[in-house]
Amino acid sequence: GQQRKSGEPYIVHPIETATILAELRMDTDCIIAGLLHDTVEDTDVSAEEIRSRFGNGVARIVEGVTDGPKGVPDETNQCALLLAMSMDWRIVLVKLADRLHNMRTLGAMPPEKQRRIAKETLKVFAPLARVLGLYCIKEELEELGFRYSEPEARVALARRMDELAAQQ
């Protein structure tokens, strides 16, 4: 019965995250972890329960993806993400898929939160996708990040591109 700020049922987010991972042809543990990535944070299910039901691989990824404590500066959480990635590279892929779907639904958030999340995406997640060679994800993160971090500049750029196209 949970819903996201966008109004869609909460289950849509983990399904979309897992779908992105499946499109990347990730292994079964990674896709299952995509489905379960918010479970420890958002429910009363423990990491140990995930481990006992789905195995060490899935549990390790879910634990690595789980966000740091609330109120901790973003830089600290970014360092924790990099450390977790060193334990299992699939952690960053789940985190990228999670961020991509969150960016696709960012319109439901207040403008200030949109800008903050978009800037973090442009600073951390899009470059990370580029380094990993995930150019389709990088480009979509950059486009969405620009849309929400600089909405006026995006409108001006789109208008100018329309003008140039009309001159051709």
Active site residues: 41-42
Instruction: Indicate if the alpha-carbon torsion angle 126, 130, 133, 136 is positive or negative.
Output: positive
Please check whether residue 100 is in contact with residue 34, taking contact to mean a CB–CB distance below 8 angstroms. Answer: no
State how far the Cα of 126 lies from the Cα of 123, in Å rounded to an integer. 7
State how far the Cα of 140 lies from the Cα of 136, in Å rounded to an integer. 6
Which tokens sit at 165?
């196209």
N- to C-terminal Cα separation, the chain: 52
Residue 136 CA: distances (Å) to CA of 19, 37, 97, 107, 114 = 15, 22, 12, 21, 21
76 Cβ contact list (under 8 Å, min separation 6): 68
Please check whether residue 87 is in contact with residue 64, taking contact to mean a CB–CB distance below 8 angstroms. Answer: yes
